[in-house]
Amino acid sequence: MIKNFLISCACLISFSIYAQNGTVSPYSYFGIGDSRSNGTVENQMMGGLQMYSDSIHINLRNPAAYSRLALTTYTAGISNNTLRLKDFTEQQNTSVTNLDYLAIGFPIANKVGLGFGLMPYSSVGYNLTSVSGETTNIFSGEGGLNRVYLSIGFEPIKNLSLGATINYNFGKLDYDRLQTVESVQFGTIDNRESKVNGFDFNYAANYMKKVGEKYTFFAHAGVNTQVNLVSKNTEIIGSFSTTNGQEIEVIDVDLDAQNLRNTELKIPTNTTLGLGFGEERKWFMGAEYSFQQLSSFENTFLRIENIQYDDASSIAFGGYFVPDYDSFTSYFKRITYRAGLRYDQTGMVVNNKEINNFGITFGFGLPLGNNFSNLNLGFELGRRGTTDAGLIEESYFKVNVGLSLNDKWFIKRKIN
Q: What residues have CB less than 8 Å from 163, skipping those under 6 apart?
A: 62, 63, 64, 65, 66, 67, 151, 152, 153, 154, 203, 204, 205, 206
For the residues of 288-326, what is the DSSP string, one character each?
EEEEE-GGG---TTT--SSEEE--EEEEEEEEEE-S-TT
Could you tell me what percent of the chain has a pLDDT over 90? 80
The domain 2-112+146-170+198-225+267-407: what is its CATH number?
Answer: 2.40.160.60
Is the pTM for the entire model greater than 0.85? yes
Residue 178 has pLDDT above 90, yes or no: yes
Instruction: Return the minimum-mean-pLDDT range out of 78-87, 128-137, 149-158, 386-395.
Output: 128-137
Q: For the residues 200-208, what does the mean pLDDT come to? A: 97
Give the end-to-end CA distance of the chain in Å, rounded to a whole number: 20
At residue 8 the predicted structure's pLDDT band, cuts being 50, 70 and 90, is: very low
Residue 327 has pLDDT above 70, yes or no: yes
Q: For the residues 140-161, what does the mean pLDDT come to? A: 96
**pLDDT tens-digit profile of 209-243?**
999 999 999 999 999 999 999 999 999 999 998 88
Residue 98 has pLDDT above 70, yes or no: yes
Q: For the residues 234-259, what does the mean pLDDT come to? A: 91
Q: CA gyration radius for the chain?
A: 23
**pLDDT tens-digit profile of 64-74?**
999 999 999 99
Asked if 106 and 130 touch (Cβ cutoff 8 Å), the reply is: no
Average pLDDT of the chain, as a whole number: 90
Q: For the residues 90-99, what does the mean pLDDT come to? A: 92
Residue 201 has pLDDT above 60, yes or no: yes
**pLDDT tens-digit profile of 344-384?**
999 999 999 999 999 999 999 999 877 789 999 999 999 99
Residue 357's pLDDT is 97
Q: For the residues 266-279, what does the mean pLDDT come to? A: 97
Asked if 127 and 139 touch (Cβ cutoff 8 Å), the reply is: yes
> In angstroms, what CA-CA distances link 274 with 186, 218, 232, 237, 375?
57, 8, 38, 49, 27
**pLDDT tens-digit profile of 24-36?**
899 999 989 999 8
Residue 6 has pLDDT above 70, yes or no: no
At residue 190 the predicted structure's pLDDT band, cuts being 50, 70 and 90, is: very high
At residue 408 the predicted structure's pLDDT band, cuts being 50, 70 and 90, is: low
For the residues of 129-166, what is the DSSP string, one character each?
EEEETTEEEEEEEEEEEEEEEEEEEEEEETTEEEEEEE
Residue 409 has pLDDT above 80, yes or no: no
